[in-house]
Amino acid sequence: NLNHITLVNFLRRVESEYNASNKYHNNIHAADVLQTLHSLLSMAVDGITSVLSKIDVFSLLLAAVSHDIAHPGTNNLYQVHALTDLAVIYNDKSVLENMHASKASQVILGTSNANVFESLSPKDSALVRTRMIQAILNTDMSHHFASVSFVDDLVSQLKEEGVDWSDIERTDDIANSISNFMLHLADISNPTKTSELAIYWAECALSEFFVQDDMEIEKNLPISPLCDRNETNLASSQRDFITFVVRPSFDVLGKIIPRVYDEVLPLIDANLKYWESQC
């Protein structure tokens, strides 16, 4: 029962809160993550989507479009080292992700004509907000390996028990874990795109990192990993990112969404080969 005009108002308000001057963490990145998540969910029809309710999916889509809202163009490490207001407010823990989640709630609850919760019951409204917050917080890369391991272990357990995804009874824990995992993968999905797009996004990310490098030098702060313009190499950093982060993660996703093996992994491998050739 979501009102179309309310949804449009929400999306416009969210987009207006993104920093268009950011080379990477901008409204286009948010749209890209949303579209990627939708594609992954579409690939999962009749599979893991059986463990996701409509509320789960709605929460996940809201999280996707809002996950980097109001991003300042600098990472968590910068916030902590610079003792920014955000770092102080959120006690140095998942600083930006906490801010993004809070800002998303402010947009929804603080804008009368953009409240996408208005057609929900109070119970469902609270549930969607909780799920949205959890998914956004999980985009913090510090949770990456734990998130991948949890889903991989779950897949292995189900395989040992001979249970198919379509036969699993939905539980909040499983739904949350799968939702959070899928949004996180959509967020790191640049190497799953065509070479032209993968290269574009890689260059955008590095450009933003180098802006942070300049700020860290100016403020006499420690230089964050991958931000040193004199040391960071685009090709080798992308090669390592794909090898140790992206490829293993999407391999796990392929175990629960088989189409990933045929439609996504070949693109990842092609991009890995390209970056290796540039090293």
- pTM here is 0.95
Q: Say whether 228 counts as a known binding-site residue.
A: no
Per the model's pLDDT, the better-predicted residue between 172 and 79 turns out to be 79
238 annotated ligand binder: yes
Can you list the domains of the chain with their CATH numbers? 4-278 (1.10.1300.10)
Among 124, 60, 70, smallest CA distance to 97 is for 70
**pLDDT tens-place string over residues 231-269:** 999 999 999 999 999 999 999 999 989 999 999 999 999
Q: Is 67 known as a binding-site position?
A: yes
Catalytic residue among 4, 25, 100, 184: 25
pLDDT, position 46: 66
Q: Is residue 233 part of an annotated ligand binding site?
A: no
Matching residue, tokens 């739904």: 175
Judge contact between 116 and 62, C-beta under 8 A.
yes
Q: What is the mean pLDDT of the chain?
A: 95
Residue 44 pLDDT? 86
Residues in the chain: 279
pLDDT of 112: 83
Q: Report d(CA 208, CA 24) in Å as an integer.
A: 6
Question: In this structure, are residues 128 and 55 in contact, taking their beta carbons and an 8 Å threshold?
Answer: yes
> Is the backbone of residue 4 left (phi > 0), alpha (psi -120 to 50) or beta?
alpha
Is there a catalytic annotation at residue 25?
yes
Mean pLDDT calculated for residue range 101-114 = 95
Confirm or deny that 68 is annotated as ligand binding: yes
- Alpha-carbon gap, residue 22 to 130, rounded angstroms: 28
Cα(150)–Cα(221) distance, rounded to whole angstroms? 35
Structure-token pair, residue 177: 């874990």
pLDDT number for residue 48: 73
pLDDT range class, residue 106, cuts 50, 70, 90: very high
Rounded to an integer, the average pLDDT of 158-185 is 87
Please state the separation of Cα 163 from the chain's center in Å: 29
